Structure 1
Amino acid sequence: EQLKLNAVAMQIPIGLEDGHQGVIDLATMTAIYFDGDNGENVRTEEISSEHQELAEGKRAEMLEAVSMFNEQLMEDLLEDNEISEEVIHAAIKAGVLSLELCPVYMGSAFKNKGVQPLLDAINRYLPSPLEAEPTEAADLANGGSKVLLDTDPEKPTVAMAFKLTEEQFGQLTYARIYQGKLRKGEQLVNTRTGKKLRVGRMVRMHANDRDNIDYAEAGDIVAMIGVDCASGDTFCNDHVRLACESIFVPDSVISLAIKAKDNEQQMKMSKAIGRFMREDPTFRVHSDEESGETIIAGMGELHLDIYIERMRREYGAEVIVGAPQVSYREAITTSAEYDHLHKKQTGGSGQFAGVSGMIEPLPRDSEESFVFENKIFGGSIPSEHIQACEKGFRDVMEKGPLAAFPMVGIKVTLRDGKYHDVDSSDLAYRLASRAAMKQAVHKANPVLLEPIMKVEVETPSDYQGSVIGDLSSRRGVIYGSEVKGEDTVINSGVPLGEMFGYATELRSMTAGKASYSMEFEKYTSTPPFVQEKVIKERLEKLKEDE
């Protein structure tokens, strides 16, 4: 129900937990046992009498569910005819291909029990590249228009890097070939960077083992060694410029300042950061201009903790970590007019530029953080200077008036201006626009926005009251709760600034029995008391950095 899937059990277990021995396959009505230390010896037997009645009941439920996808199966069921395995497999495959059926298989990862039937089912029911719906790509040569890729090996090559790992001999790039073919030694173009690259060595992976290959074609997944790229990059040959659908990358919501203990550690840290950025598009790094610190940013406290631990473990980089910083934003709440004349006269030609217009807030759910609209008619500002005006307005977006956090959600309309034949220039209009924007933002009642995280807590029902009380004390809004067996799932929205250390708090509150997940939901205005506190702390930090 939670995943909104039509889940249908294809097996029932023989024994549970430490008594788990195998599974009963409801399609073939056989008992499958997994012998050996790692379940490597698969043994097929008849179903024991103690499980026969349950298996027949569950098989009837399964056949009823999958008969919706095959007329022959439905007829055989209605007429009580014998049902062949082939018809059942065909019905399950039809349901899977239509995305309306989700077969459920059972097993135990600890002892590798149930793995072989699961892999057989993946092979039997999931579509091969030839059967799957064609993948869409954007044609960069034609303004990003959508094109469908074809699994024809004779068409121009299109492949996408979906995973990167660091190897002793360089970067290992896992890529799927969507169209065309790939040969060892072939030259490709990375459509994101425009750089050409040569495929020096290509391998087919089998877990940790690999086979060297010279050729692969559409539908294959291969690994290329020594190719410099980022996750999500598309490779084409010279005939096309396509980009496969890139993964949506949300803005980071939390940042940490890190620094290395000495120059040797700095080199190790830089190497680690370079690799992590290529692996994970949601991991961001920048240098703070005021303090000179290296700032890493990501999707949550745990996200960054994992990367810091990997720096220490995989690269031996000793890093000093600062306190987590929430990525606040600033926005305006009302519209405001601006009218500013920039005049400066020094020896020779001076600076002269006038701009006037209005700023207004964009809707909170707008995907754009800044919109510029030019409504100048009659040439009061020559068209060649309009871009400089927009740059000036954008400059102010980087640091808001309250606490120098980035600004979001502003629409700027330029209506009129003043111009001088000699003294007006791009620089003058950019400076005038900056001053005008600052003037208008102060008048437009700026507020601080904080990131709200969607927090889902799964806890034994006995602790429900304590968990809800704790979330409310963190300024959380409870969206609702639902009971799942003996557990309760609580959905809420909580400011990120209140979530630091929550994992430890939740463990101690529920005797370690509860778990939670957290993802970014939206930005919303901070209460006045929080705004005052954040602004005060931010200004003190900026003062220290100076």
Structure 2
Amino acid sequence: MRTERLHSTQPDLTTVRNLGILAHVDAGKTTVTERVLYATGTIHRRGEVHQGTTVTDFDPQERDRGITIFAAAVSCAWAGHRINLIDTPGHVDFADEVERSLRVLDGAVAVFDAVAGVEPQSEAVWRQADRHGVPRIAFVNKLDRTGADFDAAVASIRDRLPTVPLAVQLPIGREGGFTGVVDLVRMTALLWADGAEAPVRAEVPAELRAEAALRRRQLEETVTELHPAAFDEYCTAGELAEPTLAAALRDLTREGKAVVVLGGSAYRNRGVEPLLDAVVAYLPSPLDVPPVRGTTGDGDAVRPPDPAAPFAGLVFKVQAAPTGRLSYLRIYSGTLRKGDTVLDTTTGRTERAARILRVRADRHTDLPEAVAGDIVALIGPKAARPGATLAAPAAPLVLEPPRTADPVVSVAVEAKLGADTDRLAAALARLTEEDPSLTVRSDRETGQTVLSGMGELHLEVAVETLRRAHGLEVTAGRPQVAYRETVGRGVTGRVHRHVKQDGGAGQFAQLVLDVEPLPVGDGPGFEFRSTVTGGRVPAEYVRAVEAGCRDALVDGPLGGHPVTGLRVTLTDGATHVKDSSELAFRTAGRNGLREALRACAMVLLEPVAEVTVTVPEEAVGAVIGDLSARRGRVTGSAVRAGTSVVTATVPLVELFGYATRLRSRTQGRGTFTARPDGYAPAPSSV
């Protein structure tokens, strides 16, 4: 049933759900979100992705391209519960938008295509959610499509994801004849008539009663294997009562031991209401997740989701809007009131919350205050960036920010008109402020401005934003990949002396460094340690040497690319009673490591991607040959839903223009996805 939106600004936290919609591109996330907003009475007309009329895909580029590019937050109500929902992108180039969203969510709905099942980006976002410990339920969408198979989709979840799927529904009808589902928890049927606003609950159709009873029994048996209380009742009574089964499903979901699976067709508005019921029943509230942990000047600290506790929140998104600069905030503790002064603990700057907004994509409603567990937008903070912690000035706290991936593709950008150079610099600064996965640098050799991001599409969108949103005429060069350098064979005992005398106090530092490659997959890419004994290099100077070594990693000896995958050991050193300082040892660390790297056998690394190509069976040979010509290494091939799926590892530089090539080889029937898969040694020709 449709419900009216909630008006209370201080909801009972047990009735709040903060969730995201996750999926592979084109699985139907945005359509699901649109139907959720319609079912909850938040909107009164259903928008369509193909018509460019959806609420969450409100950016002109999203509507032109028909994909979600930017995570969009909306708020709605269902069955007395406040639901703060974030529709996330499905394209791998925008994975950082998903990462920042997952950092602030308590639960998620993973959407799967009923024909394709688990797709490559589905696996990627699932791993992201696992890393953040976000409980999920699954929704198998597009059950009305030709080739849709609910059981096959559930089997792909079981086979390809590290979870136990618990199907709580049985579809009624197949493909175009899909009309409803059997609710295996209540053992009733939900039927949707064409054009109906809500489902009708009825008895299970006679022809499905035996199948439904069998599946209910299988569901109970799987649950009892995972849930001790359910096991006890099952052993005693031989079956599970509905309340026991529902409670067990809730516990298993929130503990991450299993995932409840539902089905439907969002486009035809079938299956949305039971999905909302499952969100309320199974996904956690802010009180059901552990209190947020952060750091203070006194060490680690925990803040409970209590409106009376000191205020603390995390900024996960920044967006320029006609109403002003919006900072999207998840409030973890305390209460924030309009006009409050808050402290950005990452910069030490105080900011004012001039306005607090309830968000519905590009529309907003003013709130007098917001409390722990809520997701809102602020107008007022001028310098807060994604990942910043805002806290009460009297109780500062720093929360762990979302991870930001290193960019892998770059383009040179310049203004067509020389008079627009300063405007371009300001626009690029704003872009990188809103999207931390974009970086800007100036090429030392050419003087060009280089914009780097997560892929070709990511950079296309950024350049188009410069043109549309900032009114700039810009040109962009050919995409270039971000190479890295590493140590193939190290050196030991490299002595470096830094001596400088130019009047007044001098500088003196002497170091002995060992450099060696890190084992593959060991550590974050650089490791520094000291084995100096006897106080020959004081501890504060050791820290300065490490800082200098990190300075030297910015540009390597092969081509000025960043250096990674090495361990540096300070084995000895010497100081001067008057001329030694932290500055001298930092300079010695930087220059000493640069000299050592020139003496090492260095290896150039290039980014590689895991590519999944879906093509007709007759085109497999041509596709594999083309991948091999692109220096790709085929890792697998399988047949799914009547098409062939080829997986391969391919250098990212070889994928530029691959979409056009694939379409021409398969008469437009082939598709592919690619996700970053680290770095590999580049051939000498590169």
TM-score grouping bracket, smaller chain normalisation:
0.7 to 0.9
In 1, the alpha carbon distance for the partners of 2:420 and 2:193 equals 49
1:300-359 residue CA offsets vs partner (Å, 9 max, x unmatched): 22222222233334444332111112211223322334345667888x679785745233
For residue 31 of structure 1, what is the aligned residue in structure 2?
189
Q: What stretches of structure 2 of length at least 5 have no aligned partner?
A: 1-158
For residue 442 of structure 2, what is the aligned residue in structure 1?
287
Q: Does 1:443 align with 2:602?
A: no
In 1, the alpha carbon distance for the partners of 2:564 and 2:552 equals 11
- CA separation of 1:420/1:5 partners in 2, compared to 1, >3 Å: closer, same or farther? closer
In 1, the alpha carbon distance for the partners of 2:367 and 2:334 equals 16
For residue 151 of structure 1, what is the aligned residue in structure 2?
305
CA RMSD of aligned residues (A): 3.6
- CA separation of 1:427/1:290 partners in 2, compared to 1, >3 Å: closer, same or farther? farther
1:233-287 residue CA offsets vs partner (Å, 9 max, x unmatched): 2211123332333222222222111112226755664555344323332222222
- CA separation of 1:247/1:394 partners in 2, compared to 1, >3 Å: closer, same or farther? closer
For residue 190 of structure 1, what is the aligned residue in structure 2?
344
SS, match of residue 317 in structure 1:
coil
- The alpha carbon displacement at 1:369 in A equals 4.4
- CA separation of 1:114/1:273 partners in 2, compared to 1, >3 Å: closer, same or farther? farther
- The alpha carbon displacement at 1:392 in A equals 5.7
Question: Which residue type is aligned with residue 451 of structure 1?
Answer: P
In 1, the alpha carbon distance for the partners of 2:358 and 2:276 equals 18
- CA separation of 1:349/1:317 partners in 2, compared to 1, >3 Å: closer, same or farther? closer
In 1, the alpha carbon distance for the partners of 2:495 and 2:601 equals 18
Q: Does 1:3 align with 2:161?
A: yes
1:236 equivalent among 369, 387, 391? 391
- CA separation of 1:372/1:148 partners in 2, compared to 1, >3 Å: closer, same or farther? closer
- CA separation of 1:299/1:268 partners in 2, compared to 1, >3 Å: closer, same or farther? same
For residue 506 of structure 1, what is the aligned residue in structure 2?
662
For residue 537 of structure 1, what is the aligned residue in structure 2?
none
2:270 equivalent among 108, 113, 133? 113
SS, match of residue 199 in structure 2:
strand
For residue 535 of structure 1, what is the aligned residue in structure 2?
none
- The alpha carbon displacement at 1:167 in A equals 2.0
Q: Does 1:55 align with 2:212?
A: yes
Superposed, which structure 2 residues align to 1:322-401 within 5 Å?
Answer: 322-336=477-491, 337-339=493-495, 355=510, 357-363=512-518, 364-373=520-529, 393-401=549-557
- The alpha carbon displacement at 1:405 in A equals 2.0
2:410 equivalent among 241, 247, 255? 255
- The alpha carbon displacement at 1:298 in A equals 1.6
Superposed, which structure 2 residues align to 1:454-493 within 5 Å?
Answer: 454-493=610-649
For residue 178 of structure 2, what is the aligned residue in structure 1?
20
In 2, the alpha carbon distance for the partners of 1:370 and 1:472 equals 33
Question: Which residue type is aligned with residue 529 of structure 1?
Answer: S
In 1, the alpha carbon distance for the partners of 2:181 and 2:417 equals 57
- The alpha carbon displacement at 1:22 in A equals 3.0
In 2, the alpha carbon distance for the partners of 1:204 and 1:223 equals 7
In 2, the alpha carbon distance for the partners of 1:441 and 1:270 equals 34
Q: Does 1:212 align with 2:340?
A: no
For residue 529 of structure 1, what is the aligned residue in structure 2?
685
Q: Does 1:227 align with 2:381?
A: yes
2:197 equivalent among 27, 32, 40? 40
1:297 equivalent among 434, 452, 459? 452
- The alpha carbon displacement at 1:7 in A equals 1.2
Question: Which residue type is aligned with residue 13 of structure 1?
Answer: P
1:495-516 residue CA offsets vs partner (Å, 9 max, x unmatched): 2222222222233334444443
Structure scoring higher RCO (CA < 8 A, sep ≥ 6) equals 2
Q: Sequence identity, in percent?
A: 37
SS, match of residue 407 in structure 1:
coil
- CA separation of 1:159/1:326 partners in 2, compared to 1, >3 Å: closer, same or farther? same
- The alpha carbon displacement at 1:70 in A equals 6.9
- CA separation of 1:226/1:382 partners in 2, compared to 1, >3 Å: closer, same or farther? closer
2:294 equivalent among 138, 148, 151? 138
- CA separation of 1:476/1:186 partners in 2, compared to 1, >3 Å: closer, same or farther? same
SS, match of residue 528 in structure 1:
coil
1:347-387 residue CA offsets vs partner (Å, 9 max, x unmatched): x6797857452332231434354555556667878888767
In 2, the alpha carbon distance for the partners of 1:465 and 1:193 equals 56
In 2, the alpha carbon distance for the partners of 1:437 and 1:423 equals 21
- The alpha carbon displacement at 1:231 in A equals 1.9
Question: Which residue type is aligned with residue 31 of structure 1?
Answer: A
In 2, the alpha carbon distance for the partners of 1:399 and 1:446 equals 13
In 2, the alpha carbon distance for the partners of 1:91 and 1:432 equals 62
- When normalised by structure 1's length, the TM-score is 0.83
In 1, the alpha carbon distance for the partners of 2:641 and 2:569 equals 56
Which of the two has higher C-alpha Rg? 1
SS, match of residue 117 in structure 1:
helix
In 1, the alpha carbon distance for the partners of 2:343 and 2:220 equals 50
For residue 260 of structure 2, what is the aligned residue in structure 1?
103
Tell me if the contact between 2:530 and 2:571 (Cα under 8 Å) persists in the aligned partners.
yes
In 1, the alpha carbon distance for the partners of 2:222 and 2:573 equals 70
- CA separation of 1:393/1:167 partners in 2, compared to 1, >3 Å: closer, same or farther? closer
In 1, the alpha carbon distance for the partners of 2:389 and 2:295 equals 12
For residue 138 of structure 2, what is the aligned residue in structure 1?
none
Tell me if the contact between 1:286 and 1:296 (Cα under 8 Å) persists in the aligned partners.
yes
SS, match of residue 407 in structure 2:
coil
Tell me if the contact between 2:319 and 2:327 (Cα under 8 Å) persists in the aligned partners.
yes
